[in-house]
Amino acid sequence: QVQLVESGGGLVQAGGSLRLSCVASGIIFGINVMGWYRQAPGKQREWVASVTGGGSTNYADSVKGRFTISRDNAKNTVYLQMNSLKPEDTAVYLCRSQLRGVRDYWGQGTQVTVSS
């Protein structure tokens, strides 16, 4: 059974930091692309960051310089370190697994709330 389970969300003051984790099971992890997405109330889901199996990263312009995505293939885990958080970062954050020839998988999400 495939599962992606996010954790690490919470309530933080503007300017603070959080580290999100996503632990995957039941999938091929070492060569897949893992990504973080977010969805705020009243908005469509947007891509935040991605990391390939080899460690290459890409970021949305809105989070460049503040967020860092990384992965630990031995632990089947992808992380999102979020620094200098802003109220507009408030959203449900979800992780996603992509692998050529295999369907995508999504986690259920973890809530991040940034107060002013």
1-36 per-position pLDDT tens digit: 899 999 999 999 999 999 999 999 998 888 899 999
- Given pLDDT bands bounded at 50, 70 and 90, which one contains residue 66? very high
Q: What is the pLDDT of residue 28?
A: 83
Q: CA 10, CA 20: separation in Å to the nearest integer?
A: 10
Q: CA 76, CA 28: separation in Å to the nearest integer?
A: 9
Nearest CA to 23 out of 91, 93, 111, 95 is that of 95
